[in-house]
């Protein structure tokens, strides 16, 4: 048994790592806001459109499809069609088999046997499917998140076994920042290059954040983690907003740097990559002496390697969810409505630029506003949760999210003030719904196993967060309009609402062995 003095010694001299740890949020948030949220989607769409329809008039629509492999243009249409049907069927089968597995239902096959054919169908689909230029950006997000979901499971295992976790975080961060820097060369018609760099950057970001989040458990006492984590989160919003404000000036007045609008966008992409790389030096150098957990302290470490150990742990955690049905039900609800939230965030700039015809400078200003309003939204929803309870507050936020995407459908072109007002509502609901979702889930996980369950939660979140982007892209390709694509996302909020209503929060908290809060 660990004594109090031993527990104290385990945290001795870790406070010196707090300040350098904060700075990685500052470093990577600039990429998330400037590149991922604002500039990449619309700019890649412009490049893809130029590749498909050179010299297209500003008000005209491009109806020519693109192909990842140009030779695929000559293939019969049933090839990508069959690959799409197979991928969807296998994906549905995998989800259903996992649910059955969680319920301890006997199956004639292991769920893992569906993964290789699913991967093959996905590869065939990516290489042969015709791509509408307007859907290239959301498809890129889809592919990046699918690959990321698979790889992050192994990243977690590597992180647990590395002697210098800060060095590993630096490797991932600098790989991603290098890909972001190379986006400066995204011009002309080289849309494939831009999509590839964004996929590499997104995967590297996710991997670095796995290490970053894991380091929190090593540098902060349990009682300090809320404070340490919140400070890092706040510094990240400040850093991302600061660079975004600078890029707002560059994109809106490109003559200040002697460039065209397109070059100004590329300079902004470059600045985000350099910012990410430069400020990553602070946490890597500052936490260089921080050692990872000894290998002998890890479960299955003597017998299992990195791959085997990670898969074993994930399987144990998933099986254990069967004992916590309300936790599993909440997780399912969260996967639905969080997918809708993430798709609204990632697609808002594309919708504003292509459907509503706003300039890049206007979109950057809107995202900048949303970032700062989200702070107030989190505080407001925390106040509401103290009166209604987190469960009821989240349910009402899903009603608000549904209203937001429906209202977005009716926004007129070039009417920036209504778009700005809608952005304020998004910021209020965004900050609150995400903050309360995390806090409510923490009530539903068993005591002393929080990190284990949250690791599974994050892996599953990334495994499904591509579906909204896929639906957004498919609806646009079928209708040739972003309006039905944005309103289609209401399905995710409705499904999340219906599943969340079935969660018995009080029973779930008691099942997890946790103390009931004053208001449930």
Q: Compute φ and ψ for 233, nearest 5 degrees.
A: -60, -45
Lowest mean pLDDT across 224-238, 295-309, 433-447, 471-485: 295-309
Contact criterion met (CB below 8 Å) for 197 and 232: no
3-state helix, strand, coil in the chain (%, to 5): 80, 0, 20
- pLDDT value at residue 270: 95
Using 50, 70 and 90 to split pLDDT, how confident is the model at 160? Answer: low
Instruction: Give the whole-angstrom CA distance, residue 206 versus residue 13.
Output: 28
Report DSSP state, residue 502.
Answer: T
Instruction: Give the whole-angstrom CA distance, residue 291 versus residue 454.
Output: 22
Q: What b-and-e string marks burial along 94-120, b requiring 16 or more CB atoms within 10 Å of the CB?
A: beebeeebeeeeeeeeebeebeeebee
- pLDDT value at residue 153: 66
Instruction: Give the whole-angstrom CA distance, residue 503 versus residue 448.
Output: 22
Section 131-160 average pLDDT: 77
Between these two residues, 358 and 448, which has the higher pLDDT value? 358
User: Of the candidates 381, 363, 378, which has an alpha carbon nearest to the alpha carbon of residue 420?
Assistant: 363
Q: Pick the most confident of 171-175, 252-256, 362-366.
A: 171-175
Q: According to the 3-state scheme, what is the secondary structure of 332-350?
A: HHHHHHHHHHHHHHHHHHH
Query: Any residues with CB less than 8 A from the CB of 329 and at least 6 apart, and which?
Result: 499, 502, 503
Between these two residues, 85 and 248, which has the higher pLDDT value? 85
The tokens for 122 are 């996905």
- pLDDT value at residue 292: 61
Query: Any residues with CB less than 8 A from the CB of 399 and at least 6 apart, and which?
Result: 497
Section 41-59 average pLDDT: 84
- pLDDT value at residue 431: 66
Residue 131, strand partner residues: 66
Q: Is the pTM of this model over 0.85?
A: no
Query: Any residues with CB less than 8 A from the CB of 333 and at least 6 apart, and which?
Result: 495, 496, 497, 499, 500, 503
Instruction: Give the whole-angstrom CA distance, residue 243 versus residue 446.
Output: 40
Please state, in angstroms and as integers, the Cα–Cα distance from residue 223 to each residue in 144, 217, 228, following that order: 35, 11, 10
pLDDT in tens, 322-349: 778 888 888 888 888 888 888 887 788 7
pLDDT in tens, 377-400: 777 777 787 788 778 888 999 999
What is the maximal distance between C-alpha atoms in the chain?
A: 73
Query: Any residues with CB less than 8 A from the CB of 277 and at least 6 apart, and which?
Result: 173, 174, 177, 178, 181
Section 351-360 average pLDDT: 82
pLDDT at position 232 over 70: yes
Run of H or E residues at 311: helix 306-320
Residue 329 CA neighbour count, 13 Å, CB half = 17
Helix (H, G, I), strand (E, B) or coil at 66: strand
Contact criterion met (CB below 8 Å) for 98 and 318: yes
Using 50, 70 and 90 to split pLDDT, how confident is the model at 15? Answer: confident
Instruction: Give the whole-angstrom CA distance, residue 286 versus residue 292.
Output: 15
pLDDT at position 223 over 70: no
What sign does the CA torsion over 340, 346, 348, 351 have? negative
Using 50, 70 and 90 to split pLDDT, how confident is the model at 289? Answer: confident
- pLDDT value at residue 313: 55
pLDDT at position 267 over 90: yes
pLDDT at position 432 over 90: no
Using 50, 70 and 90 to split pLDDT, how confident is the model at 4? Answer: very low
Section 362-386 average pLDDT: 77
Between these two residues, 112 and 140, which has the higher pLDDT value? 140
Lowest mean pLDDT across 11-15, 159-163, 209-213, 390-394: 11-15
Helix (H, G, I), strand (E, B) or coil at 131: strand
Contact criterion met (CB below 8 Å) for 292 and 164: yes
Q: What b-and-e string marks burial along 26-61, b requiring 16 or more CB atoms within 10 Å of the CB?
A: bbbbbbbbbbbbbbbbbbbbbbbbbbbbeeeeeeee
The tokens for 68 are 């990842």
Section 191-218 average pLDDT: 85
Contact criterion met (CB below 8 Å) for 36 and 202: yes
- pLDDT value at residue 388: 85
Residue 66, strand partner residues: 131
Q: Compute φ and ψ for 75, nearest 5 degrees.
A: -75, 150
Instruction: Give the whole-angstrom CA distance, residue 152 versus residue 313.
Output: 13
Helix (H, G, I), strand (E, B) or coil at 28: helix
Helix (H, G, I), strand (E, B) or coil at 171: helix
pLDDT in tens, 446-492: 765 554 565 566 666 655 566 787 788 888 888 888 888 888 899 99
Section 93-118 average pLDDT: 72
Average pLDDT, the chain: 79
Residue 478 CA neighbour count, 13 Å, CB half = 9
- pLDDT value at residue 301: 43
- pLDDT value at residue 20: 92
- pLDDT value at residue 2: 43
Between these two residues, 300 and 276, which has the higher pLDDT value? 276
- pLDDT value at residue 258: 85
Instruction: Give the whole-angstrom CA distance, residue 34 versus residue 15.
Output: 31
Burial of 146 (0-12, 13-18, 19+ CB in 10 A): buried
Lowest mean pLDDT across 203-207, 273-277, 386-390: 386-390
Q: Compute φ and ψ for 131, nearest 5 degrees.
A: -115, 120
Contact criterion met (CB below 8 Å) for 201 and 35: yes
- pLDDT value at residue 9: 46
Contact criterion met (CB below 8 Å) for 343 and 395: no
């Amino acid at each position: 048994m660990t004594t109090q003095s031993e527990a104290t010694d385990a945290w001795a001299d870790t406070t010196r790592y707090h300040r350098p740890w904060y700075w990685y949020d500052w470093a990577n948030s600039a990429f998330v806001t400037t590149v991922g949220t604002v500039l990449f989607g619309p700019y890649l769409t412009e490049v893809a459109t130029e590749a498909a329809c050179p010299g297209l008039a500003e008000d005209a629509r491009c109806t020519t499809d693109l192909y990842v492999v140009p030779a695929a243009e000559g293939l019969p249409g049933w090839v990508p069609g069959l690959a799409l049907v197979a991928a969807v069927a296998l994906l549905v089968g995998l989800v259903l088999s996992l649910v059955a597995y969680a319920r301890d239902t006997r199956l004639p096959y292991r769920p893992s046997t569906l993964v290789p054919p699913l991967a093959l169908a996905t590869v065939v689909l990516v290489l042969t499917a015709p791509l509408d230029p307007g859907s290239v950006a959301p498809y890129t997000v889809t592919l990046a998140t699918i690959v990321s979901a698979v790889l992050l499971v192994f990243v977690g295992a590597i992180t647990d076994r590395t002697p210098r976790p800060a060095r590993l975080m630096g490797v991932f961060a600098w790989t991603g920042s290098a890909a972001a820097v190379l986006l400066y060369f995204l011009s002309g018609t080289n849309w494939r290059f831009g999509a590839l760099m964004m996929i590499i950057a997104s995967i590297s970001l996710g991997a670095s954040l796995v290490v970053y989040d894991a380091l929190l458990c090593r540098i902060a006492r349990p009682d300090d983690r809320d404070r340490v984590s919140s400070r890092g989160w706040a510094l990240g919003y400040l850093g991302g907003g600061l660079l975004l404000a600078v890029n707002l000036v560059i994109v809106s007045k490109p003559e200040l740097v002697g460039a065209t609008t397109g070059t100004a966008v590329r300079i902004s992409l470059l600045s985000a990559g350099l910012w990410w790389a430069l400020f990553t030096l602070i946490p890597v150098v500052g936490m260089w002496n921080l050692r990872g957990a000894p290998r002998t302290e890890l479960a299955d470490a003597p017998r299992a390697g990195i791959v085997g150990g990670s898969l074993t742990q994930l399987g144990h955690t998933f099986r254990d969810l069967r004992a916590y049905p309300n936790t599993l039900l909440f997780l399912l609800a969260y996967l639905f409505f969080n997918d809708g939230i993430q798709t609204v965030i990632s697609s808002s700039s594309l919708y504003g630029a292509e459907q509503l015809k706003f300039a890049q400078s206007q979109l950057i200003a809107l995202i900048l506003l949303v970032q700062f309003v989200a702070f107030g939204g989190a505080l407001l929803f925390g106040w509401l949760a103290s009166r209604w309870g987190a469960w009821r507050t989240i349910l009402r936020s899903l009603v608000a999210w549904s209203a937001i995407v429906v209202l977005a459908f009716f926004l007129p072109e070039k009417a920036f003030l209504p778009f700005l007002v809608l952005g304020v509502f998004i910021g209020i609901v965004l900050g609150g719904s995400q903050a309360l979702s995390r806090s409510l889930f923490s009530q539903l996980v068993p005591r002393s196993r929080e990190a284990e369950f949250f690791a599974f939660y994050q892996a599953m979140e990334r495994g499904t967060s591509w579906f909204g982007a896929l639906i957004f892209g498919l609806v646009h390709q079928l209708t040739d309009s972003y309006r039905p694509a944005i309103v289609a996302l209401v399905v995710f909020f409705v499904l999340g609402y219906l599943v969340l209503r079935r969660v018995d929060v009080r029973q779930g908290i008691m099942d997890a062995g946790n103390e009931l809060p004053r208001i449930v």
